[in-house]
Amino acid sequence: MGTDSERSVYLDHAASTPARPEVVAAMVPWLTEHPGNPSGSHAAARAARRAIDDARDHVGVLVGCLPGEVVFTSGGTEADNLAVDGVVRATGGLPVCSAAEHPAVLEPVRDSGGTVVPTDAAGRIDLTVLTEVLDAAADDPGTSVALVSAMAANNETGVVTDVAAVAAVVAEHAPDAVVHTDAVQASAWLDLPVVVRGAGLVSITGHKFGGPKGAGALVVRAGVPLAAVLRGGGQERERRSGTQNVPAIVGLGEAARLMVAERDAMGHRVGDLRNRLEDGLVAAIDGVRRTVPDGTPRTPGVAHLCFDGIESEELLFLLERDGIAASAASSCASGAQEPSPVLAAMGVDRVTAAGSLRLSLGWASTDADVDHALAVIPTAVERLRTHARSVQSR
């Protein structure tokens, strides 16, 4: 790899993980040797259909559902959109979600005239306010809540939501509503069959746990009302039309199979790396705080910190120059560094949020990655603060 200054360290796994070699190997034959369209009737088509069915089995085991409940999509965004828009179209009711949801949930909820519920200081949906919203809708003859969405793990902070507790509130106060959970960030770390058991709809995507980009799924439990958004071919039991992307679906299935086999061991290993990274930075740098309140359940892969006296965009520039790829917010909030809606929902002020940094690890992360980050980040922060002090003194 060369000298330490030449290291390339990827600490943005929450945005997208590298595809695992086993996944690539599973996909290649379906890119190069098997041309069949799974909707056809000849042998090549039947082979493609069997490959999709095998992948459906693996995703079903990962999430804890029947294979027939798996609807393949182009990724997490489409799965989230289909969950919200599909239920709203099927029922005519309104959706509800938390203020810390991914934009793929927030925007359809707002576009449908739904309600956005505030969060607690950790970024989890406020169950007291949710109860009030559901009770108010129940008392209004002209209003019905069709769906409540609360993500299983936050895409910026890794904070874990108690989906079962959300489902219990919904069951008591809006029994006809469907619970949806965006489990995109949870898939690599949490025991989904347990965590999302109370949800009628579950979104995942492969590129968060070693699979390919462009392949995801929405789990639609039996009996959940869902109208198709993409129509025309009748694929996926008429819930999502369009010729299936066989290579990507095969890759998603293989990533799901590996995740089921290795999740516990990987979670312990990566959690130890994350803790060493986070503890080392807090010890080495003054004026840094952990964004997530102590004791809050979170996934093993995310270290989220706020640094006083710096701007995230400047820090990211210096880190990239020293070989570290990281982010200041979720990948979908990249580009111009706007204040994070997630941090705003948690009550983090704009000045503090301006110095936020998300360092996310995954299956490919190593001790050497953490060593390099601990060597580079304190120096970069001090350099920015020194520059800021010199500018202020002029």
Catalytic residue from among 65, 97, 306, 332: 332
Which residue carries 């462009």 as its tokens? 214
Instruction: Give the DSSP letter of residue 204.
Output: E
> Strand 9-10 to strand 356-360: parallel, antiparallel, or no bridges (unpaired)?
unpaired
Q: What is the DSSP string of 248-262?
A: HHHHHHHHHHHHHHH
- Residue 65 catalytic? no
3-class DSSP assignment, residue 266:
helix
Q: Coil, strand or helix: which one is 221? A: coil
Q: Are 167 and 177 in contact (CB under 8 A)?
A: no
Query: In the chain, what are the helix, strand and coil shares in percent, each to the nearest 5?
Result: 45, 15, 40
Count the alpha carbons within 13 Å of 378 in the hemisphere toward its beta carbon.
15
Largest CA-CA distance found in the chain, in angstroms, rounded: 77
Alpha helices (runs of H) in 158-231, residue ranges in sequence order = 163-173, 192-195
Cα–Cα distance for residue pair 367/276, rounded to 1 Å: 9
Which residue bears the tokens 């992360």? 365
Nearest to 48 by CA among 39, 59, 58: 39
Token pair 């039991």 is found at: 237
Positions marked active-site: 332
